[in-house]
Amino acid sequence: MTRWEELAGSATGGTLYGIGVGPGDVRYLTLRAAGLVRSVDVVAFFAKRGRQGNARSIVTPLLEAGRRELRLEYPVTDEIPATHPDYHSQIGAFYRQAADSLSELLRQGRSVGLLSEGDPFFYGSFMHMWRRLAKTFPVEVVPGVTGMSGCWTRANTPITWGDDALVVLPGTLDEGKLVERLRLADAAVIMKVGRNLGKVRRAVETAGLLSRALYVERGTMPGERVVPLASCGDPEGAYFAMILIPGQGRAI
Ligand SMILES: C[S@@+](CC[C@H](N)C(=O)[O-])C[C@H]1O[C@@H](n2cnc3c(N)ncnc32)[C@H](O)[C@@H]1O
């Protein structure tokens, strides 16, 4: 065993691990996350239909051939709005089935690592499994570098200074709510931009923040793009995109 494998520790049978795999670049995994990705009996991950799954792609360099994997494929993602009753029933049934598949492996005494982009407890799908399984099985959550940390690092911009209050908003909020919350913020991060880009851009402009806003797509991943929001003319954003509005507080 190498020194780093010893420090990372290994996986225990019958335990579910929520593994934060960071913002995209495999080098930003924690020691514990990398160790578990290499040692769990089963590597599980969520994926959109027809896609490899972003968290799974991030750890590809760490996976040797022949590892046992469990792909949990969403029946829908952004084809139906999250407020639609069909979305709730389909996603609810999917999460129940996914939790059943994980339970079966855990009951067999396998260690299962469920990959999560960024940090598992920060808007992570892992939380839906944690909610269903943590009372029955041992669960360890491994924190990860969040997508937003990766994005402001790659945009080369500090996000908060001194007394700045940072507000994190999902781009799925309605325009009025976005404006209201942005007006209270010294610094802001707007996640889940995707199809909401037009609405988000209008809200940022109405709040008087457009000149400071950056659009970051696929931060730390292949195809990364960082541009001022004012000059990003895209009608829609990428799924992996966010808006950063850096604070201007006390820089001494
Ligand atoms: C379901 S949330 C998952 C957040 C994740 N658990 C984290 O800790 O960052 C997905 C949203 O995170 C944002 N995101 C995560 N990683 C990103 C990255 N590398 N570049 C740009 N946006 C990212 C995007 O706004 C995306 O729509």
CA dihedral 58, 62, 68, 69 (to 10 degrees): 0
For residue 140, pLDDT over 90 is answered with: yes
Q: Whose CA is nearest to atom 15 of ligand 1?
A: 147
Ligand 1 neighbours, Cβ below 6 Å, are: 23-24, 116-119, 122-124, 146-147, 150-151, 191-193, 216, 218-221, 239-242
DSSP state of 189: E
Q: In degrees rounded to 5, what are phi and psi of residue 81?
A: -60, 145
Summarize the confidence of residues 172-177 as an average pLDDT: 97
CA–centroid distance, 10 to ligand 1, in Å, is: 27
Tokens coding 172: 């799925």
Percent of the chain with pLDDT strictly greater than 70: 98
pTM comes to 0.95
**Closest by CA position to 249, among listed 191, 162, 138:** 162
Q: What is the DSSP letter of 246?
A: -
Arithmetic mean of pLDDT, 177-196: 97
In the chain, the largest separation of any two C-alpha atoms, in whole Å, equals 57
- Interval 90-99 mean pLDDT: 95
Centre of ligand 1 to C-alpha 239, Å, is 8
**Ligand 1 center to residue 44 CA distance, Å?**
19
**Which atom of ligand 1 is nearest to 192's Cα?**
27
pLDDT of residue 125: 94
Chain segment 154-171, per-residue pLDDT in tens: 999 999 999 999 999 999
Average pLDDT estimate for 13-18: 98
CA of 28 to the centre of ligand 1 (A): 14
225 CA → ligand 1 middle, Å: 14
CA neighbours closer than 13 Å in the CB half-sphere of residue 65: 0
Closest CA to 112 of 131, 130, 94, 90: 130
What integer best gives the mean pLDDT of the chain? 95
The ligand 1 atom nearest the CA atom of 220: 19
pLDDT computed for residue 127 by the predictor: 98
pLDDT tens string 40-92: 999 999 999 888 899 999 999 999 999 999 999 998 776 666 777 777 889 99
pLDDT digits (tens, 9 = 90+) for 17-46: 999 999 999 999 999 999 999 999 999 999
Cα–Cα dist 246/64, whole Å: 40
CA–CA distance, 161 with 144 (Å, rounded to integer): 23
pLDDT of residue 252: 79
